[in-house]
Amino acid sequence: MEHVLPFASLNSVKDLQSFVTRAKTLDTTGVRFVVTGNVLAASVSVMHPAGLGDGVPIVIGLRTFALDFSNHPRFELDSVFAMDAVTDRTHRMISSDSTAFTLPPSEISVTWTALNPPRSGWTPAAVVDDADIRKLARNGISKVSEGLPSTPGAPLLAQVRSAVWGEQIGDPDHVEFPAGATLGAHSLGFLLPRGETTISTAGHWVRLTSTGGHVLARSAVAL
């Protein structure tokens, strides 16, 4: 039996297409769909450790989308799908003005879903201008570029990315988070020209909530 995600509007389909297309420029491992009630939570890896000794933080981008099950069977879901399988479908939906997303037939397995951020218990810690988040992300991108030769090997690439994106930024007496979180907020299009981002904490996790979506991050841990 095919399961269909009935999006509440075509604009939501377009937003999902944009979200996953942007995510492909960062990490192509897959997109996680979690359906609860009338909400789809779609999450992607911005970056995650490749293995033991990798200092790259875990950074996850998250967007939510409204669903309308009034004419479709309701179901819950927690699965990961290939990004191309998702964008192929959203592209066809947009071309035909359809809001019915048929789930891909095959799921995939990814390591970054092994650690799940909490769904509740978040405590707001600070509010930061989006312009500052954007500046930090661009500075990090420049540092990575400057630290690499034209054809870097995998070990050097991992070393530079760990040093740049694993750096803790913020106020040590208030709240700190991995610099890689700024890359997620910037590259996934979550920031606005005059917007603000709320930084919250829950256990080992930090969440950056901007107008366009959420970024969840924690320091490197073996997956």
DSSP 220: -
pLDDT digits (tens, 9 = 90+) for 28-52: 999 999 999 999 999 999 999 877 6
**Span 4-18, average pLDDT:** 98
**Span 135-153, average pLDDT:** 89
Phi, psi for residue 155 in degrees, rounded to 5: -60, -40
Domain identity same for 59 and 89: yes
Instruction: Sort strands 39-47 and 31-36 into parallel, antiparallel or unpaired.
Output: antiparallel
Residue 30 and residue 82 in contact, taking contact as beta carbons nearer than 8 Å: yes
Identify whether 118 is part of a domain.
no
Domain identity same for 163 and 95: no
Of the three residues 113, 146, 181, the one that is the final residue of a domain is 113
Domain identity same for 12 and 107: yes
Domain identity same for 102 and 138: no
Quick one: pLDDT band at residue 187, thresholds 50, 70, 90? very high
Identify whether 83 is part of a domain.
yes
Where in the sequence is the domain holding 156, given as residue range(s)?
A: 123-218
- How far apart CA 88 and CA 83 sit, in angstroms, is 8
**How many domains does one find in the chain?**
2
The percent of residues in the chain predicted with pLDDT above 90, rounded, is 81
- How far apart CA 86 and CA 27 sit, in angstroms, is 15
Quick one: pLDDT band at residue 1, thresholds 50, 70, 90? low
Residue 126 burial (10 A CB sphere; 0-12, 13-18, 19+): middle
- For position 137, what pLDDT does the model report? 97
Of the three residues 113, 142, 167, the one that is the final residue of a domain is 113
pLDDT at 223 over 60: no
**Span 132-155, average pLDDT:** 89
- For position 50, what pLDDT does the model report? 79
- For position 153, what pLDDT does the model report? 77
Domain identity same for 29 and 61: yes
Q: How many CA atoms lie within 13 A of 171 on its CB side?
A: 8
Distance from the first to the final alpha carbon of the chain: 33
Of the three residues 76, 91, 113, the one that is the final residue of a domain is 113
Domain identity same for 96 and 159: no
- How far apart CA 186 and CA 188 sit, in angstroms, is 6
**Neighbour-count burial for 140-171, b at 16+ CB within 10 Å, e otherwise:** bbebbeeeeeeeeeeeeebbbbbebbbbeebe
Average pLDDT score over the chain: 93
CATH number, domain with residue 177: 3.10.150
The SS3 call for residue 153 is: coil
**pTM, full prediction:** 0.93
- How far apart CA 5 and CA 41 sit, in angstroms, is 12
Residue 80 and residue 165 in contact, taking contact as beta carbons nearer than 8 Å: no
Which tokens belong to 2?
């095919």
